[in-house]
Amino acid sequence: MAERPLREITLGQMLDEAVAQHPDNEAVVYVDRDFRLTYQEFGDVVDRLAKGLMALGIGKGEKVAIWATNVPYWIALQFATAKIGAILLTVNTYYKQSELEYLLQQSEAENLVLIDGFRDTDYIQVTYDLIPELKTQQRGALRSYNFPHLKRVLFLGQEKHRGMYTIPEIMALSQTISDSAYAERQATLDPHDVVNMQYTSGTTGFPKGVMLTHYNIGNNGFWIGENQRFSHEDRVCLPVPLFHCFGCVLGVLAAVGHAATMVVLEGFNPVHVMSSVEQEKCTALYGVPTMFIAILDHRLFPKFDFRSLRTGIMAGSPCPVRVMRQVIDSMHMDEVTICYGLTEASPVMTQTRVDDDLRKRVETVGRPMPEIEVQVVDPETNTPVPAGAQGEVCCRGYNVMAGYYNMEEATAETIDAGGWLHSGDLGVMDEDGYLSITGRLKDMIIRGGENIYPREIEEFLYSMDGVADVQVVGVPSEKYGEQIGAFIIPKSDFELAPEDVRDFCRGKVARYKIPRHITFVSEYPMTASGKVQKYKLREMAADIFDTSK
């Protein structure tokens, strides 16, 4: 792969290049509703939507919060806002009323775009409950007591709702904006402008608004695709949420940066994923490990043809070795890659390469991306540790966020004076530059002075017959400070008891690494993007286990 310098272009210019070079290539496909747009057609939709937003009065630098599942207009809005200098603010689809209220207030969002709802949450009703003025005030002249910055609410569909603009209305308004006015707006944009705000998933503390620029995520997306050897001939199946970096950067920007086709699912369903891959002959598939496990374990798995698959990304949480081997052997994803990073890093700082050997792809999260420095430092002294030693993973480069919105102190705590972004993750880098993640600083268990890293124990227990999944956390202990607690999901056809697990461990791992507390569960508390919320498991552990031991 030839090295390419970082590019000073906006996301709109990235899309325009794909349209110019491959106008007839399919850009967006939804199998379940036979929705298809070529790059030329998609580019036209984006331009009409962008002009419509301008006609509403949305200015450069305004934030446009999108609260929606992976519906067809989601990606169009991502580029339409980018083309007029607005900032797309992604909202977790699992949010409830109090969480949306926090986000709108903390972000000072001027615009909210939403669908009708998701699962048991009625987005329309939640919005009216939070913003009762919508039902009585004129559209475009909103004055909300609770949200003084909010100016407009848009509905991402055809239906009319009081106080909200609809997609057909916005598209019709595009005719009032001239091509010259549209071009003038785009001429004012700078690749280093903030184009995207994503709120961290909140696995620790209150969510923080991560500000990302065109330069951050445009270049990161391009290299993510390069490392999968993407071209305009690739067809990428995306069942991951677009509100998360996994969807809108690793997925959308990696694909558009190579004029590849995006086969999008509105939500994850194993059968829909398998059908989409087979019908569209997808060459790449994205997912967190739990998604791949659900596909591999589905009773209909043997009936689908996966021979078109070549590559893809598994990310979001550590992948069990056995799952990676199944993905390669049974799903034909010989060139599957692993990505590691965090939202603040745009998000990927390391990635395995398609020609890495199997050991590196199952035991590491790859090596640094081009133009990104990655180092492992002693958490106490902040000095680099030698190869093979454990420390905190840090990165520096074009990908580091512009900061947290309205949180200068938190930004300074995360990005040090030398420009290094501190991940909060513990890792080990080998002499070849390949990184292995061993846990989080706060996940580390200290039992009687012994440092214990949950990932090591999890990988060991994965190898036990009958264990489908396992998460290890620290449990408070009056005697030792902390003890090891294991939350195990057993396979459906196995009966396991805590003593079976301890018997499996005896003689194979150090005595202090054998879980003192073991419980069996059917599922884990998860974020919408597929990450296990270990802090909730720690809270559960403190409640259900005897902490006097």
**Average pLDDT over every residue of 86-107:** 94
Q: Which of 189-224 are b and which e, b meaning 16 or more Cβ less than 10 Å from the residue's Cβ?
A: bebebbbbbbbbbbbeeebbbbbbbbbbbbbbbbbb
- Averaged pLDDT score across all residues of the chain: 93
pLDDT top residue among 441 and 213: 213
pTM reported for the whole predicted model: 0.87
Lowest mean pLDDT among 307-321, 407-421, 434-448, 515-529: 434-448
**Positions of E strands within 226-334:** 235-238, 261-264, 284-287, 311-314
- β-bridge partners, 481: 477
pLDDT band at 456 (very low <50, low <70, confident <90, very high): confident
Task: State residue 262's pLDDT score.
Answer: 98
Domain 36-189 matches domain 209-440 at the CATH topology level: yes
Q: Which CATH number fits domain 445-544: 3.30.2130.10, 3.30.300.30, 3.40.50.920, 3.40.50.1820?
A: 3.30.300.30
Q: 129: which residues sit within 8 A by CB, 6+ positions away?
A: 97
- β-bridge partners, 339: 351
DSSP symbol at 469: E
- β-bridge partners, 66: 90, 113
pLDDT band at 380 (very low <50, low <70, confident <90, very high): confident
pLDDT top residue among 1 and 515: 515
Please write the tens of the pLDDT for every residue from 479-510.
Answer: 788 899 999 999 988 999 999 999 999 988 87
Lowest mean pLDDT among 345-349, 358-362, 401-405: 358-362
Other beta carbons less than 10 A from residue 6's beta carbon? 17
Task: State residue 202's pLDDT score.
Answer: 46
**Average pLDDT over every residue of 19-23:** 98
**Positions of E strands within 33-179:** 35-38, 63-67, 87-90, 111-114, 117-118, 121-122, 152-155, 165-166
* Residue keyed to tokens 């993640």: 437
Q: Which CATH number fits domain 209-440: 3.40.50.12780, 3.30.565.10, 3.40.50.1000, 3.90.330.10?
A: 3.40.50.12780
From residue 88, alpha-carbon distances to 66, 299, 530 in Å are 7, 39, 22
* Residue keyed to tokens 């005030």: 137
From residue 351, alpha-carbon distances to 51, 240, 338, 356, 362 in Å are 37, 18, 6, 10, 12
Task: State residue 205's pLDDT score.
Answer: 55
The number of C-alpha atoms within 13 Å of 114 and in the hemisphere containing its C-beta is 27
From residue 440, alpha-carbon distances to 293, 361, 392, 452, 516 in Å are 24, 20, 8, 11, 21
pLDDT at 319 over 80: no
- What SS3 state is found at 176? helix
Task: State residue 449's pLDDT score.
Answer: 65
Task: State residue 74's pLDDT score.
Answer: 98
**Homologous superfamily of the 36-189 domain (CATH):** ANL, N-terminal domain (3.40.50.12780)
> Among residues 440, 437, 417, 418, which one has the least CA distance to residue 428?
437
pLDDT at 141 over 50: yes
Pull the structure tokens for residue 262: 């995006």
Domain boundaries, the chain: 36-189, 209-440, 445-544
Other beta carbons less than 10 A from residue 495's beta carbon? 9
